[in-house]
Amino acid sequence: MSFVTINFEKVKKLVGDKVNIIAVSKTFEYIHIKPLVEIGHKHFGENKVQEAERKWPEVKKYFPDIKLHMIGKLQSNKAKQAVKLFDYIHSLDNLKLANLLSKYETLFNKKRKYFIQVNVANEKQKSGIDKNKLALFYKYCTEELNLKIIGLMCIPPNDGSANVYFKSTMELNESLGLKELSIGMSADFLTAIKYNSTFIRIGSAIFGERS
């Protein structure tokens, strides 16, 4: 059993079967990811479209059950490629991007699953929809664009207050009647689970620290 597989099994034991583990494989080549693919793990995450395009198309041909998640900032000029390749996009954060994703879904006859990224702490340096504008944005995406919004996503500030921000995101998620919730990474996924996270984004706890 590989180092990566052992780490994955440790995380899986901690979170149980009700939470989906997205193995965040950014910067790691397929040789490092392969052990998880071979044991049947299905959810993998990438931060950059270009890297995903290089690594995953051939793999997905042989393993069609794999679900690829775009978890990083998605630039509008990469929306076309993202709709082609990813099954889930966790970083829907503005109207321009929403319009483009809808356009390319129609063009390619594909339906993707989306998380709206919320800027829960109103941090100027972070992407995300303002909490006060969330309801209108959600309504536009679902009613006007017919995007399949399945939940919210947030990246809390690294200030030791993850509980506060996860609770806020959970409550916003519930207010919209959404079932899925993308909160929690390697440093705080156990906290996120307390607030009903259904997708956790785990990189270093599985693959080790990046160079």
Question: What is the structure's pLDDT at 209?
Answer: 82
Alpha-carbon distance values, 144 to 74, 90, 95, 148, 152 (Å)? 21, 20, 11, 11, 19
Beta carbons within 8 Å of 98's beta carbon, 6+ residues apart: 92, 137, 140, 141, 145, 147
* pLDDT (mean) for 162-178: 96
CATH no., domain 3-207: 3.20.20.10
Question: What is the structure's pLDDT at 126?
Answer: 78
For the cut 90, the answer to whether the pLDDT of residue 201 exceeds it is yes
Our measurement of the distance from residue 145's CA atom to the centroid of its chain's CA atoms, rounded to an integer in Å, reads 20
* pLDDT (mean) for 93-101: 98
* pLDDT (mean) for 148-161: 92
Beta carbons within 8 Å of 168's beta carbon, 6+ residues apart: 120, 131
CB 51 within 8 A of CB 28: no
For the cut 70, the answer to whether the pLDDT of residue 211 exceeds it is no
Percent above pLDDT 90 for the chain: 87
Over residues 106-146, the pLDDT tens digits come to: 999 999 999 999 998 787 777 899 999 999 999 999 999 99
- DSSP for residue 27: T
Question: What is the structure's pLDDT at 84?
Answer: 97
For the cut 80, the answer to whether the pLDDT of residue 188 exceeds it is yes
**Domain residues of the chain, as ranges?**
3-207
- DSSP for residue 118: B
The angle at the Cα of 170, spanning 164 to 172, to the nearest 5 degrees, equals: 105
Question: What is the structure's pLDDT at 159?
Answer: 84
For the cut 80, the answer to whether the pLDDT of residue 157 exceeds it is yes
Over residues 28-77, the pLDDT tens digits come to: 999 999 999 999 999 999 999 999 999 999 999 999 999 999 999 999 99
* pLDDT (mean) for 92-106: 98
For the cut 90, the answer to whether the pLDDT of residue 105 exceeds it is yes
